[in-house]
Amino acid sequence: MSGTIAAEITSGRGHDTYDGPMPRSIVLAALAATLTLTACLGSSSDDPASSMALPSTADALPAADADAFRGLLADLHGTPVVVNLWASWCEPCKREMPMLARAAADHPDVQFLGVDTLDSREGAEAFVAEYSVPFPSLFDPDGAIRTELGSFGLPVTVFFDAEGNQVAKVDGELAQSALDEHLASIAG
């Protein structure tokens, strides 16, 4: 150690007396840490729904809570929406998914949205692949969206008109006749 640095350390002044420029490596490390923390913490908005966008692919499965779900429905204002809550372990969900996939293909003017509920991400991804789910789904491992919709079991299918009004809700396995009837009531 040089005599000056050793004297500063032993005198208790330490680095507080250094008046030179901060080394570039320290500045870059601080900047990188700040950017990493900002990215990990996400938006500073108090509204978590403001950052939820409609997933662009069926297998994206972004995590969502009730607030994000409400925000997403608000963003879809002007479009009729069918929300289907499902899980990979749910036998009635498996039976009705091919019917919902056909309906989504037949009604491009209606936004279909799945909500994988009380499931594992691995199970959800396998379900989307196995049943060729064509519409986006959210991942709700805690069931908060199902609770928000006032339901307790699975599957649940909810129909919203273009104004965002809930027109119908089917708790349990959806029949083709009910799907056709409720789609007719929301699709213009």
* Residue in the block written with tokens 């199902």: 146
Backbone Cα Rg of the chain: 26
CB 156 within 8 A of CB 165: no
Q: Mean pLDDT for the chain?
A: 80
User: Residues 80-90: pLDDT tens digits?
Assistant: 999 999 999 99
What is the C-alpha to C-alpha distance for residues 76 and 162, in angstroms, rounded to an integer? 8
CB-based burial, 96-118: b 16+ in 10 Å, e otherwise? bbeebbebbeebeebbbbbbbbe
User: Residues 134-158: pLDDT tens digits?
Assistant: 999 999 999 999 999 999 999 999 9
Angle between helices 91-106 and 121-130 (to 10 degrees): 50
User: Residues 2-27: pLDDT tens digits?
Assistant: 444 444 434 444 444 444 454 444 33
Tell me if the pTM is above 0.75: no
Instruction: Report the candidate in 158, 164, 165 with the shortest Cα–Cα distance to residue 183.
Output: 158
Q: Coil, strand or helix: which one is 79? A: coil
Helices (H), the chain: 3-11, 24-41, 66-75, 91-106, 121-130, 144-148, 176-186
User: Residues 152-161: pLDDT tens digits?
Assistant: 999 999 999 9
